[in-house]
Chain A
Amino acid sequence: MTGAVDITLLVNGKTYTGRAEPRVTLADFLRDELRLTGTHLGCEHGACGACTVLMDGRTVRSCLLFAVQAQGHDLATVEGLAPAGGAEGLHPLQEAFHRMHALQCGFCTPGFLMSAYELLQSNPRPTEEEVRTWLSGNLCRCTGYQNIVEAVLAAAAEPEPEAHQ
């Protein structure tokens, strides 16, 4: 069974099917097979957080999970963050990142957004220290963390949006 197998995934509420070997990570499967390239890959060994997605509402490193393992779970990627597929504008976290210059090259941004999303789901009004601690598993190599933390705090100060289901 090292050969390609059929893999069916539920991503951002939509069912996708593709084929891949069991060794293909969820991150590679999302990007190469499903062409959902919003999820980025930095280190490919769990250290940088760029590949962070939600599985059943909780963040996971999609480089440390094989696509075959994600079957039967509810996945959400950065593409699903904006309500109505973006037709109704950005998610408040994305808005805040945009407004407050929380990204420069944007490589780390999808991972930060998904991590911050999980934080605000469980703790809608975090302190600055809680934001910093929570995001410690995401690395940014160019913007610096100050604006990212401020953007998350700004988004937290806004009324709760209708998030992706």
Chain B
Amino acid sequence: MKPAPFSYFAPRSLHEAVGLLVEHGDAAKVLAGGQSLVPMMAFRLAMPDVLVDLGGVGELEHSRVEGDTLVLGAMTRHRAVQDMGWLRTRCPLIVEGVELIGHPAIRNRGTVGGSLAHADPAAEWPAILLALDGEVDAVGPNGNRTIRAADLFQTYFTTALAPDEILTEVRLPLPDGAPTGSAFVEMARRHGDFAVAGVGTQISLHPNGTIVDARLALIGVADRPVRAGSAEAALRGHGPTEEVFAEAASVAIGEIEPSSDLHGSSDYRRHVAGVLVRRALTIAARRAAAA
């Protein structure tokens, strides 16, 4: 239960951090909040020879609103987002999702960049990014690039990031214009555990009351977070009614491939996901109507 030996570097700038990754290649890993990497090192599932600690890279800690976009530096802690009081009304999906991550001590350390790079299929941040059609920036030896949410998550714990790339910034478009409501709900065995299944949603209403835009992102139900595109299509143009939500739920559970494990069988997860889709849509619709 003790991590294997490694060399430790604490760069003060992004430039320096990238240089260290280039120098040490596959032997190196970046350390962000350590809330996933350090347990993996304790289990010796990860044995990097070199750790590049991003904790001292101040450039990665910014957060701001630019127009209708929430911009978060990769090292923004979960807790810092939870503490953005205004965000709770503007986009509850984000704050509710973040509040479901582990426990206070985990949220004090864990970072948005670390969660996205780690890409646990049951993690909340990837669903938030997907549901909001967000994007991330990454920097590597060949410079900067932007990766859209839809292209980031590949399979279990695997993203489009190269080993020598550092995720630097996350951009989340916030709702504007049309009355919009959002929500994040999940089912976990105990409070703070990873979700058996979870759903983040955002819906926007036309002045005539019908749904003009719907997003559904599901976690814990496949090898990566899933956007339920067909269920979203089934919602558009319809009124936010119980029947429409039930139909969307039955379409959504056809778009996922849950696996069976200790915490639930594939069928059970599918069932839970359907219930959560209806629940999330009901809350989001209520909020949109009140907006």
User: CB-CB < 8 A to B53: which residues of A?
Assistant: 69
Q: At the interface, yes or no: B290 with Cβ under 8 Å from chain A? A: no
What is the 8 Å Cβ interface bit string for chain A, positions 13-24, against chain B (1 contact, 0 not)? 000000001110
What is the 8 Å Cβ interface bit string for chain B, positions 1-42, against chain A (1 contact, 0 not)? 111111111100000000000000000000000110011001
User: CB-CB < 8 A to B191: which residues of A?
Assistant: 133, 136
Query: How many whole Å from B147's CB to the nearest CB in chain A?
Result: 27
Q: At the interface, yes or no: B106 with Cβ under 8 Å from chain A? A: yes
- A58 touching B108, Cβ below 8 Å: yes
Residue of A nearest to B4 (CB): A23
- A61 touching B4, Cβ below 8 Å: no
Q: At the interface, yes or no: B105 with Cβ under 8 Å from chain A? A: yes
- A59 touching B104, Cβ below 8 Å: yes
Contact of A46 among B4, B10, B38, B79 (CB under 8 A): B38
Classify chain B: how many residues form its interface, as a range. 20 to 34
Q: Report B86-105 residues with CB < 8 Å from chain A CB.
A: 102-105
A residues neighboring B (CB under 8 Å): 1-2, 5, 21-23, 25, 28, 44-46, 49, 52, 55, 58-61, 63-66, 68-69, 115, 118-119, 133-134, 136-138
Please report the C-alpha to C-alpha distance between residue A65 and residue B51 in the assembled complex, in whole angstroms: 13
- A59 touching B6, Cβ below 8 Å: no
Please report the C-alpha to C-alpha distance between residue A28 and residue B190 in the assembled complex, in whole angstroms: 28
B residues neighboring A (CB under 8 Å): 1-10, 34-35, 38-39, 42-43, 51, 53, 55, 79, 102-106, 108-109, 190-192
Residue of A nearest to B109 (CB): A60
- B104 touching A1, Cβ below 8 Å: no
Query: How many whole Å from A84's CB to the nearest CB in chain B?
Result: 27
- B6 touching A137, Cβ below 8 Å: no
Please report the C-alpha to C-alpha distance between residue A5 and residue B7 in the assembled complex, in whole angstroms: 11
Contact of B43 among A45, A63, A118, A119 (CB under 8 A): A45
A49-B103, A58-B108 as given contacts; A64 in contact with B35, CB under 8 Å: yes
User: CB-CB < 8 A to A137: which residues of B?
Assistant: 102-106, 192
- B38 touching A65, Cβ below 8 Å: yes
